[in-house]
Amino acid sequence: MSPPVKTGFIIFIAVAGIFATFTFPPVPQDQSYFLFADSRALWGIPNFGDVVSNLPFMGVGVLGLLTLKKHWQDNTRFANPAEAIPFLVAFAGLILLGPCSAYFHLAPTNDTQAWDRLPMTLVFMAFFSIIIAERIHLKSGLALLPVLLAVGIASVIYWSVTESHGQGDLRPYALVQFLPVLIIPLILILFKPLYTRGGHLVSVIVWYGLAKVCELRDPWIFAFTHHLVSGHTLKHLVAAIGIFGLVKYIQVRQKI
């Protein structure tokens, strides 16, 4: 397929995904989600495991910013210095995610979860912009970054407002979280890489998938490990490992 045909195919998948999502009725937040398996307190911190396991996000974010500072003007790693912008947003979002997610897990409710989800959308959308900029078209990827960020933030605000009125709707947020996971692998398969070591980008997706499995198997993992660690705590750690792949990608890639 020619590049325009490939791009058209990606756009078609995106539009089809959006249309399919909104054929379903509104999806409110399941309140049982807040019943995390490990509610143990330690050192006066409630839900200790789920709270402190957010610290690695901040560490990876800081490491990412330091890596960017070192390499963003290296034309073997950034053919255009502007390519560093979505990376900057992603790592800044990670730094925000640490305290925001910890705040949520101190007292999990609809109100506090909005603070957890806002920085996550920054990371999701920035990563999506990185893939578009590198594989499809640089200017398009950068131009879409503020649009994608606005959509991500709006999806969380929309969910929060509808939830506060007793008619919660998670559909837009679900799109923000899962549509890129569907489209990004297609882009990586269909479009030629600009840099080597693209496997690190794949690893981000794989580790994220594993993190979601840990989240879904929260009580099972807690029981299986004899209450050593819960699935949700493990989710945070696994997700941080996954996003570290983005840092490693900058450190080792070379322009093709």
CA distance 13 to 18: 9
Helix axis angle, 171-190 relative to 3-21, nearest 10°? 160
Phi, psi angles (nearest 5°) of residue 198: -65, -15
Q: What are the residue ranges spanned by the domains of the chain?
A: 48-252
Q: Are 176 and 119 in contact (CB under 8 A)?
A: no
Q: Considering the chain, what is the average pLDDT of its residues? A: 96
Is pLDDT of 117 > 80? Answer: yes
Residues in the chain: 256
CA distance 59 to 114: 22
Is pLDDT of 1 > 90? Answer: no
Burial class (CB in 10 A: 0-12, 13-18, 19+), 170: buried
The whole-number pLDDT of residue 153 equals: 97
Q: What is the homologous superfamily of the domain 48-252 according to CATH? A: Rhodopsin 7-helix transmembrane proteins (1.20.1070.10)
What does the pLDDT average to over 192-217?
96
